[in-house]
């Protein structure tokens, strides 16, 4: 019997080595299990086979792996929880820093009687909409997009609005000189004069930038959001809209919590990979020339960071521009 147990132990050791494992403390447990099996078989006057020993070895190994998996899962969950807490704290700190920088800049502007004039640019899905909302809240400027300005001018029946309407009704692109006229009129409005303004995504071409300068429109800071194309494509393709509320979600980054909302989400017709790549090509064809028109006031910002981190960089840059003018 002793020799049988000894041989069983040797067999288990060989299996350990074959599988690439060095004998360890757990091997003692496996040997004990094998010994118990051998004793039971001996009492039953039965023969212990190699298959039975392998089953014991396999079950023991499986239990060990399962224990390790549970430990790893707990460690991973704890690490993820800690990282989430750190990320939240970083976001809070970044938002507070951005707010404080903005407050200082606003005080300087109030003393000088000046207003803030900003331009923000970036590819589709670079985060302009999010940052425009934060800039508007922090600095109190009027957020302006060409689409909104054109529609408002047409609705108001202004001279340039009528000109723009003629082109729009004919299905033609509105010429730069008409767009510049619309922009110039809007920037001359009382709210823009008293609060300052933020041009969103305009100018889009060098010709528009030059025409804007010739019209006497200048900015304090040109903010450019840099995001690699592969990330932009991922952001656009996963974007969905709730047709009932107009809220925008992302299937990966910010999905709705409500299954009912998820079920009714729709994708914009131009939010496909092929179409966004075309839009990106058009954007890249003009962006360098536009940036070249604002070299002295341009600020490049990494748009892949969290919205709070991006807003911190933007607010700090704007505050620095304001302080340099004071």
Q: Which of 66, 70, 107, 268 is catalytic?
A: 268
Q: Give me the catalytic one of 128, 165, 240, 321.
A: 128
Residue 279 is among the residues annotated as catalytic for this protein: yes
- 291 catalytic per annotation: no
90, 279, 291, 305: which is the annotated catalytic residue? Answer: 279
> Is 39 an annotated catalytic residue?
no
Annotated catalytic residue: which of 39, 61, 90, 204?
Answer: 204
Residue 78 is among the residues annotated as catalytic for this protein: no
Please list, in sequence order, all residues whose beta carbon lies within 8 angstroms of the beta carbon of residue 319, skipping any fewer than 6 positions away. 101, 102, 104, 105
Which position among 186, 239, 240, 321 bears the catalytic label?
239
268 annotated active-site: yes
- Which of the residues are catalytic? 128, 204, 239, 268, 279
């Amino acid at each position: 019997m002793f020799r049988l147990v000894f041989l069983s132990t040797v067999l288990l050791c060989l299996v350990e080595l074959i599988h690439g494992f060095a004998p360890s403390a757990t091997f003692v447990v496996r040997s004990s299990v094998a010994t118990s099996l051998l004793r039971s078989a001996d009492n039953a006057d039965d023969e212990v086979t190699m298959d039975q020993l392998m089953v014991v070895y396999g079950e023991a190994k499986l239990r060990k792996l399962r224990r390790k998996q549970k430990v790893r899962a707990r460690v991973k969950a704890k690490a993820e929880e800690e990282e989430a807490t750190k990320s939240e704290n970083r976001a809070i700190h970044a938002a507070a820093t951005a707010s404080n920088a903005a407050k200082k800049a606003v005080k300087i502007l109030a003393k000088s009687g000046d207003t803030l004039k900003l331009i923000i640019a970036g590819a589709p899905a670079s985060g302009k909409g999010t940052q425009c909302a934060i800039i508007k809240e922090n600095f109190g400027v009027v957020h302006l997009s060409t689409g909104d300005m054109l529609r408002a001018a047409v609705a108001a029946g202004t001279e340039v609005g009528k000109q723009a309407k003629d082109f729009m009704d004919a299905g033609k692109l509105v010429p730069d000189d008409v767009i510049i006229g619309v922009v110039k009129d809007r920037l001359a409005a009382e709210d823009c004069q008293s609060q300052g303004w933020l041009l969103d995504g305009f100018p889009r071409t060098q010709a528009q930038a030059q025409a804007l300068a010739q019209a006497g429109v200048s900015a304090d800071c040109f903010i450019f959001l840099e995001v690699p194309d592969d990330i932009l494509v991922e952001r656009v393709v996963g974007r969905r809209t709730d047709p009932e509320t107009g809220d925008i979600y992302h299937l990966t980054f910010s999905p709705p919590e409500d299954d009912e909302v998820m079920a009714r989400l729709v994708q914009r017709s131009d939010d496909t990979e092929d179409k966004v790549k075309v839009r990106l090509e058009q954007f890249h064809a003009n962006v360098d020339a536009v940036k070249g028109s604002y070299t002295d006031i341009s600020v490049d910002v990494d748009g892949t960071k969290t919205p709070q981190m991006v807003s911190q960089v933007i607010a700090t840059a704007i505050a620095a521009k304001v302080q340099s003018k004071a």
